[in-house]
Amino acid sequence: MTISLLLISFTNYGFAQIQMQQTHIENPLVVLDTNLGKITIEFFYDDAPNHVENFIKLTQSGFYDGVIFHRIIPGFMIQGGDPNTIDGDPSSWGTGGPSTNVDAEFNTIKHNRGIVSMARSADPNSAGSQFFIVHADSNFLDEQYTVFGRIVTEESFETLDKIASVETGSKDNPLEPEQVKITRAIVVDPSEISDLLELGEPERTESIITPSTGNQKYESTEHEIGFSVPEGWLLQTPDKTEANAPDVVAVGPKTGIMNPVISLTVQETNQRTLDELILEKIELINPAVDEGSLKIISQEKMIVNGYDAYVINAQADFTANGESFDVQFKEVMIYDTEKFYSLAYSNELNNFESQLPRFEETIDSFEILSNDATNNETNNQTSTEEGGGCLIATATFGSELAPQVQQLREIRDNTILSTESGIAFMSGFNQFYYSFSPTIADLERENPVFKEFVKISITPMLSTLSILNYADINSETEMLSFGIGIILMNVGMYFAAPAIIIYKIRK
C-alpha cells in the first residue's frame, strides 16, 4: 500500500475515482470516534489529493486507532495522529509518524475554525500522519501548511470544543490522555451521516498558489526592514535566545540530505564600526579555522544596496544525529548606523549552487524601511552633499546625549509602537516632524553654534521623554495617558512657561 502511495499520481478527482473503485464510496468521509464524541471530516480532493489519499489510507489501515490528541491549545488548535502516543514515552509525543512523507500541497484555503490541516516539521515536505483541527481562526498559518479537509457536523464542532477545553500541562499535553483518545477511525459513505452541515465553499485567501519560483515578501515593523524569500519556503520568527540568534528563518524543501536555509540576524552596532565588527567575526571563527572544521573560501568588503557590507563564503563540517555533512554557506553583513543585519544562506555542498540565485534575490530585495528617519542617520550626517536627516540625531551626534537618543529609539520601538494608538501617533508625528527636520539638520551641520543651540533646546524634551523608561505600559489607555501627560509637560515648558516669563517682564 505504501509503494502504491508513492507511485500513483492524482489530478482533479482522480483520487476520488480510485477510492470509489477500491471501497465503492464516492468522496468518502472519515469519522474519528473519541471518548468525548465523534468528529466527521470531509476532504478537499482538488486542493490536496495526495494528503487526502494519505489520510484515508492510514485510516483504512487502522493507523489512527488508539492515538490521542497530544497537543491542545484552546483558541488555536488540537493536534493528533502520532503513533508514539499509543504506548510511547510522553517526551516523544509529537515526533512520531509513518515511514514515508507527503510533499507539500499548499493551497489558498484559510485556516478557519473547523479546518483540518497537516502538521509537519520545518521541512515543507515532511507531513506524515500528524494533523491538526483549527479551534479558532488562525489565518497566520494560511499557505504555510496543507489544508486537506474540514469537520462537517454539529457534533464534530461540539467535540472539538470539548477536547480544546480539557486540562493540559506545560507542554500543552493533556493531563488525562484517555479523555482525548481516538478509539476508532473509519472511512464512511456520506449517505451514512444524517446530520451533515451545508457549509458551502471554504473561504480562501486572495493569493494564487502556483509552482513558480516567485518570492514571498516579509516585512518587520519591529526591525523596520523588508526582504523577500523564495515562495513556498517556511518563514519562522524563532525566540531570540541570545544576541547572535537569528530573528527570521526561511526553510526550503529538502533536495538532498538537508534543507536549505536563509536567515536574518539583527544586532545593535553599539557604536562599533564595520571594521570592528569584521574583526570580531574573524576572532570568533578563527578557532574553527585553526582546527580544520571551517574553511574560508572568500571574504571581502563591498557595497550592498547602498550600504557598506562584508561578505564571507565558507565551508564547514557539520555533525548531527551521528551523520556528517559538508555544508557551504554565504553570509552578507549589511552595516548601518545603529544596527547591522546578517543575511546568511546555508545548504549542503553538492546542492549549494542550486539555491544560491534565490539567496541573491533575497539580498537584492533587502531594504531598511526607516532609513530616511533613523537607521541611515550617519549617512545623512557625514554627507553634506545629500543633506537632510533627523535634527535631534544631528544635534546630539557624538555628544553626551547620544545614548539618551538611542534609549528613546528603543522606547519608540518597544513601547510606543507596541500599541495601536502609539503607531497612529508616530505615523502622524513623523509626517509633521520630517516636513522641517531635514532643513534644520542641514543648518546644524553648516553652523556649529546653531547646532549647540538646538542641543540645549531639546535637552528638556529628552529628559521628559525618558520618563517612559520607568513607565509600565500594558494597555492602550496607559499609553494614551502617559503620552498626553508628556505632551502637556512639553507644551508647558516650551510655550506656557516662556509666555508667563515674557508677560511678567513686560508687566
Report CA 362 to chain centroid distance, whole Å.
Answer: 16
Q: What is the mean pLDDT of residues 153-180?
A: 93
236-261 exposure pattern, b = at least 16 Cβ within 10 A, e = fewer: eeeeeeeeeebbbbbbbbbeeebbbb
Which pLDDT value is given to residue 292? 86
18 has pLDDT over 60: no
Same domain, 25 and 86: yes
Q: Residue 18's domain is classified under what CATH number?
A: 2.40.100.10
| CA dihedral (170, 171, 172, 178) positive or negative | negative
Same domain, 61 and 173: yes
Query: Could you tell me if residue 204 is inside a domain?
Result: no
Which pLDDT value is given to residue 314? 92
Same domain, 359 and 387: no
Quick: pLDDT tens for 206-223.
755 444 445 677 888 788
Same domain, 102 and 163: yes
Percent of the chain at pLDDT > 70 equals 76
Nearest of 258, 475, 292, 257 to residue 483 by alpha carbon: 475
Please enumerate in sequence order all residues whose Cβ is within 8 A of that of 345, keeping only pairs 6 or more positions apart, or say none: 260, 261, 262, 329, 330, 331, 355, 356, 359, 362
Query: Could you tell me if residue 275 is inside a domain?
Result: yes
Domain ranges, residue 288: 215-369
Query: Could you tell me if residue 469 is inside a domain?
Result: yes
Please enumerate in sequence order all residues whose Cβ is within 8 A of that of 374, keeping only pairs 6 or more positions apart, or say none: 224, 338, 390, 393, 409
Which pLDDT value is given to residue 411? 64
Cell of 412: 519608540
Cell of 425: 501617533
| Residue 177 DSSP label | G
Percent of the chain at pLDDT > 90 equals 33
Same domain, 182 and 294: no
Is 92 or 5 the better-scoring residue by pLDDT? 92
Task: Calculate the CA dihedral of residues 362, 363, 365, 367 and round it to 10 degrees.
Answer: 130
Same domain, 237 and 97: no
Which pLDDT value is given to residue 324? 74
Question: In the chain, how many domains are there?
Answer: 3
User: Among 343, 369, 395, where does a domain finish?
Assistant: 369
Query: In the predicted model, what is the mean pLDDT of the chain?
Result: 80
Same domain, 179 and 315: no
Which pLDDT value is given to residue 180? 95
Asked if 451 contacts 394 with a C-beta cutoff of 8 angstroms, the reply is yes
pLDDT classification of 23: cutoffs 50, 70, 90: very low
Query: Could you tell me if residue 92 is inside a domain?
Result: yes
Query: Could you tell me if residue 32 is inside a domain?
Result: yes
Is 112 or 140 the better-scoring residue by pLDDT? 112
Asked if 117 contacts 111 with a C-beta cutoff of 8 angstroms, the reply is yes
Same domain, 357 and 388: no
Q: How far apart are CA 102 and CA 314, in angstroms?
A: 33
Q: How far apart are CA 421 and CA 276, in angstroms?
A: 39
pLDDT classification of 165: cutoffs 50, 70, 90: very high
Q: Residue 357's domain is classified under what CATH number?
A: 3.40.1000.10
Please enumerate in sequence order all residues whose Cβ is within 8 A of that of 358, keeping only pairs 6 or more positions apart, or say none: 213, 229, 230, 252, 262
139 has pLDDT over 90: no
Burial category of 213 from C-beta neighbours within 10 Å (exposed 0-12, middle 13-18, buried 19 and up): exposed
Query: Could you tell me if residue 34 is inside a domain?
Result: yes
Which pLDDT value is given to residue 376? 41
Same domain, 362 and 386: no
Which pLDDT value is given to residue 27? 86
Cell of 60: 483504512
247 has pLDDT over 70: yes
Is 257 or 397 the better-scoring residue by pLDDT? 257
Phi/psi class of residue 96: alpha, beta or left (left: φ > 0; alpha: ψ in -120 to 50)? beta
Report CA 356 to chain centroid distance, whole Å.
Answer: 22
Quick: pLDDT tens for 314-371.
998 877 656 677 899 999 999 998 899 999 999 988 888 888 888 888 898 898 886 6
160 has pLDDT over 70: yes
Quick: pLDDT tens for 390-435.
677 666 665 666 666 656 666 665 566 566 676 667 667 766 766 7
Q: How far apart are CA 372 and CA 357, in angstroms?
A: 29
Quick: pLDDT tens for 293-309.
889 998 888 888 888 89
Quick: pLDDT tens for 443-466.
876 787 887 887 787 777 777 766
User: Among 352, 369, 386, where does a domain finish?
Assistant: 369
Predicted structure pTM score: 0.46
Cell of 265: 540576524
Same domain, 155 and 108: yes
Which pLDDT value is given to residue 186? 95
Query: Could you tell me if residue 207 is inside a domain?
Result: no
pLDDT classification of 5: cutoffs 50, 70, 90: very low
Which pLDDT value is given to residue 394? 67
Cell of 81: 495522529
Which pLDDT value is given to residue 202? 94
Same domain, 220 and 139: no
pLDDT classification of 183: cutoffs 50, 70, 90: very high
Quick: pLDDT tens for 266-301.
999 888 888 889 888 888 888 888 888 889 998 888
pLDDT classification of 436: cutoffs 50, 70, 90: confident
Which pLDDT value is given to residue 473? 64
Q: How far apart are CA 412 and CA 407, in angstroms?
A: 9
Is 126 or 255 the better-scoring residue by pLDDT? 126
Same domain, 233 and 301: yes
Query: Could you tell me if residue 312 is inside a domain?
Result: yes
Strands (E), 81-127: 115-118
Which pLDDT value is given to residue 63? 95
